[in-house]
Amino acid sequence: MHLGFRPPALQWGQRVAWAAKSFTTEWVEFVNRATPRQLQALGFPPPGHRYWTTETLAGMALRYPKLDLLPWQPTN
């Protein structure tokens, strides 16, 4: 039996364990060229979501240096 738990407000969380493969060259290359909508379909929080803070964006920049993070920047 496969069980997954998450808070109800964590809509972008899922039980698919794609994260186990997230260090492969193929995954990183895909993320670097994917659109926000494509990434959202795979579980990334959408632009404007409160998850996207200065800290999380800095982490994404380190993890995916070729990804254009402009769509996820806060629109203050």
User: Each residue of 11-56: pLDDT tens digit?
Assistant: 666 655 566 677 889 999 999 999 999 999 888 999 999 999 999 9
Contact 6, 13 (CB under 8 A): yes
pLDDT band at 75 (very low <50, low <70, confident <90, very high): confident
Q: Where are the domains of the chain?
A: 23-72
Return the amino acid letter for 49.
H
What's the confidence (pLDDT) of residue 12? Answer: 64
Q: How many CA atoms lie within 13 A of 76 on its CB side?
A: 3
DSSP assignment letter at 49: -
pTM of the shown model: 0.71
What's the confidence (pLDDT) of residue 60? Answer: 94
Q: How many CA atoms lie within 13 A of 25 on its CB side?
A: 0
